[in-house]
Amino acid sequence: MSGKKKAISYADAGVSIDEADAAVGRIRKLARATFNSNVLAGIGAFGAAYRLRGWKQPVLVSSADGVGTKLKVAFLVGRHNTIGEDLVNHCVNDIMVQGAEPLFFLDYFATGKLSAGMTAQVIEGIARGCRRNGCALIGGETAEMPGLYQDGEYDLAGFIVGAVERGKLLTGAAIRKGDLLLGLPSTGLHTNGYSLARKLLFEIAGYTVNSLPPGLDCTVGEELLKVHQSYAPALRALRRAGVLKGAAHITGGGITGNTPRILPEKVAAEIATGSWPVPPVFELLREIGDVPLDDWRRTFNLGIGMIAVIAEADLARAEKALRKAGQTCYRIGRIVPRRREPVIYS
């Protein structure tokens, strides 16, 4: 071999350090807007540091999740500034059903070719979700991995840590026969059931993200990108009122799959079919694919994003607390003795 070898840089391998630096600069600014006095080291340090103070017997509650193939819809629409809020709200709901208050959040963002602008849009949504839920965005990972993702696509995951006093941890153990189930409405699909929804809407029905199907008051893209609701204000209100005995975040598995996670062994949840309005998008999906009833109930939330369990005697107090928090609720069922299945539809 003769002649001078060609110098190969990281950029030649498909990774731009300059673009990464630009992205981190924007992320640092967005994250700092979520910091509170407990954040001792955040974006830029090798590890984030958070001071835990004001607790007597704290139990740390953590969760990790993603937004599934809802990302595919964001790619099709070209809108990336809400998907991060979906992620935060999902994670917040997951720990608050155990009585925990969110403390801090970390994200993982991975893409094939880094775009500082698109990355900033995603983190903008994460930061907004953190501010609205009262937690700090203190760290994360932004990874550029050429060849692993299609152009313009990325993956996203979130990690949350919260705390609750040991004596106030919600386990569902206090739930008894006769307790009531209050359903808090969802904004739509939230972050679950998108693989089936995309197949039905795009492949079977032939819709695009710009289509306006009968029954919907917005385009398919707008419907599918409705933000996953945070139930933090509602759950805080119920806890302050001293009426919350248990709560279930209705995600993948629907009411059928998630409600049993909080039930003691000898009781079941009896769901009163027709006790809340099912949003048109779920009826549309069922009609397109002639989806079996059981599958429909186990795949989608069907308009209920959170179930709160209260004693019947506390109904008036619970409804008052939710009204003050600006939260609508429906009485969707009650706790009954278990015979066979943990969830019964009547």
Confidence bin at 320 (pLDDT 50/70/90): very high
Residues 163 and 193 in one domain: no
- Cross-sheet strand order for the sheet of 343-345: 246-249, 304-310, 180-185, 330-337, 267-271, 343-345
Range in 26-30, 40-44, 45-49 with the lowest mean pLDDT: 40-44
Structural domain boundaries, residue 30: 15-168
Average pLDDT of the residues of the chain: 92
Asked whether residue 335 falls in the same domain as residue 299, the answer is: yes
Reported as a pLDDT band with limits 50, 70 and 90, residue 27 is confident
> Could you tell me if 163 and 225 lie in one domain?
no
* Nearest CA among 211, 194, 236 for reference residue 326: 236
Q: Which amino acid is at 279?
A: P
Residue 1 covered by a domain: no
Count how many domains the chain has.
Answer: 2
Residues 125 and 235 in one domain: no
Residue 327 and residue 211 share a domain: yes
d(CA 220, CA 216): 8
Q: Is pLDDT of 152 > 60?
A: yes
**pLDDT of 35 over the 80 cut:** yes
Task: Give CA–CA dist 155/111, Å, rounded.
Answer: 6
322 and 199 fall within a common domain: yes
Query: Is residue 142's pLDDT more than 50?
Result: yes
- Whether 164 and 184 map to the same domain: the answer is no
In a domain, 174, yes or no: no
Report whether pLDDT(24) > 90.
no
- The domain that holds 318 is classified in CATH as 3.90.650.10
Task: Report the C-alpha gap between 182 and 317 in whole angstroms.
Answer: 13
| Rg over CA atoms, the chain | 22
Identify the domain boundary among 122, 141, 168: 168
**Is there a domain that residue 3 lies in?**
no
Most confident of 18-22, 140-144, 205-209: 205-209
Cα–Cα dist 204/66, whole Å: 26
Out of 168, 196, 214, a domain closes at 168
Last-in-domain residue among 133, 168, 203: 168
CATH of residue 68's domain is 3.30.1330.10
Give the pair of three-digit tokens for residue 179: 């307790």
Q: Which tokens belong to 160?
A: 């949350």
pTM for this model (two decimals):
0.92
Residues 188 and 122 occupy one common structural domain: no
